[in-house]
Structures are given as structure tokens and as C-alpha cells.
Amino acid sequence: MDSSLGKILIVDDDENICEVLKMYLESAGYSTRVCHDGKAAQSAFMDYDPDMVLLDIMLPYMDGIDVLKWIRREHQTPVIMITAKGETFDKVLGLEIGADDYIVKPFEPKEMVARVKAVLRRYNVDNIDKEVLKFDGLTVDINSYLVIYNGEELKMPPKEFELLYYLASNKNRVFTREQLLCEVWGYDYPGDSRTVDVHIKRLREKLQGGVNWQIETVWGVGYKFEVK
């Protein structure tokens, strides 16, 4: 990060929204850059190297979902999606691809600033080394957000990683979806239990388990990282 609290890339084709967000974020201590379409967002992302992206779904040339997919191919930068639709489909799709949060237009600029602070706070891992979790064929290192599975490094969006780390660091303990939402996403997160289901599904697509461990569904309750 630079001398500010962080660099925020604002991507929205509504110039008024961009100007208001820019004003509020800079007043809160962040640096900003603004662009108005998906193609420009790609160039700005590579040039600006932001600490967070505020990304509208409906954009000219390349929509926000495709921009998010592009970011997630190589980067773990936190992304908050902005949507005017508010349909469950948009929210679930964005979260499945790797968005960290979403906000529905119209919104209060102060609420967006609060969301930015909350997401960046969750990303700022303490400098103190934390436990590296090791199981048969699986290493989960929260210090570098690194997952090694059967000898291969896995690309994993931050929220998937944090969910895996939380479950694995509390092995054999069953958590409800609501507990996981609170512990991994935070008490102020506006999502619902389907968010957890989507991320568990993505984890299972990448991790088929090991000789003595598995991500298990406890029907009627929630999920656990079972170690035999």
C-alpha cells in the first residue's frame, strides 16, 4: 500500500456514482482511481495495482462478472460487486466466482466505505506467524494464503481459503451455516446461508479429501472438517 490507507479502483459506468464514491473514500483516507468500462478496468488494474476493486456488474465492453473472472485467474485482490439488480442469481454467481462482498444500488456512500474498511480489515493478516495446518496431502498456510494439495499449489479466492482454514483449524467440530457466516465473513455481512453452501461446493471441487480427512456435511446442521 502507499501512504494512504490503501488504493481503491472504482469501476462503474455511472460517472455520478464514481464521483461520490471517490469523494467519500478519499475523505476516509484512501487513494482512488476511476474507470467506466470493463476493458478500461483491466488496464487500470494492471497499472494501478489496487488493494481493492469496487466493481459494477453492468459495464460496457466487458461486464463485471467477466472482469471478476479475469482478476481471479491470477490475483487475490478483494472485490466488492455493485449491482442494481439485487437478484439472488447475481449475488450467488458473483460469490461463486470469488467476490468478497456485494452491495445493491441505491446505497449510502457511508455504507460502502464501511464495507471497504471491513473487507480490508479481514485481509490484513497480523504479521505474527500463525499455525500452518498439515494433513495427509494437504497444507494450509494462512501466513501466505497458500494451499498445497497432493503436491500442487491451488489457486483459491480469499474467502474460500479462509473458510477452509477456519474449518481445518477446528477439526471435527460441526458449525452451522450461520456460525460460519459470522466467523468467516463477519457479523455485519449481509449475505445468507447460501453463501456458505456455494463456497463449500467450490472447495469440494478443488479438494476431494485425503486418506484421513474430508469436508463433511452434517445433515440438518452444517459442515465440519473431519479428521479420522
Mean pLDDT over 25-35 rounds to: 94
- The verdict on 117 and 169 lying in the same domain is no
Cα–Cα distance measured from residue 59 to residue 66, given in angstroms and rounded to the nearest whole number? 10
Question: Considering only 43-52, 105-114, 190-199, which range has the smallest mean pLDDT?
Answer: 190-199
- The verdict on 27 and 115 lying in the same domain is yes
Residue that terminates a domain, selected from 123, 152, 174: 123
- The verdict on 187 and 216 lying in the same domain is yes
In a domain, 166, yes or no: yes
| pTM greater than 0.75 | no
In a domain, 107, yes or no: yes
| Residue from 14, 24, 189, 36 nearest 108 by CA | 24
Q: What is the per-residue DSSP string for 142-196?
A: TTTTEEEETTEEEP--HHHHHHHHHHHHTTT--EEHHHHIIIII-TT----THHH
Which domain CATH number covers 194? Answer: 1.10.10.10
Could you read off the pLDDT of 91-115 as tens digits, one per residue? 777 777 888 888 888 889 988 998 8
How much is the pLDDT for 1? 41
- The verdict on 91 and 13 lying in the same domain is yes
How much is the pLDDT for 127? 38
| Residue from 27, 2, 48, 28 nearest 11 by CA | 48
Residue 45's domain spans which residues? 7-123
Residue that terminates a domain, selected from 71, 106, 123: 123
Which pLDDT band holds residue 126 (cuts at 50, 70, 90)? very low
Instruction: Give residue for cell 456458505.
Output: 196
How much is the pLDDT for 86? 63
Mean pLDDT over 61-88 rounds to: 86
CA distances from 10 to 1, 45, 63, 214 (A): 16, 10, 14, 39
- The verdict on 119 and 171 lying in the same domain is no
61 pLDDT more than 80: yes
More confident: 92 or 19: 19
How much is the pLDDT for 181? 87
Residue that terminates a domain, selected from 123, 153, 188: 123
116 pLDDT more than 70: yes
How much is the pLDDT for 189? 61
How much is the pLDDT for 18? 95
Mean pLDDT over 180-186 rounds to: 83
In a domain, 1, yes or no: no
How much is the pLDDT for 83? 85
Selection from 3-17, 28-42, 148-162 with the highest mean pLDDT: 28-42
Average pLDDT, the chain: 87
Which domain CATH number covers 31? Answer: 3.40.50.2300
Cα–Cα distance measured from residue 52 to residue 68, given in angstroms and rounded to the nearest whole number? 12
- The verdict on 118 and 16 lying in the same domain is yes
**Domain tally for the chain?**
2
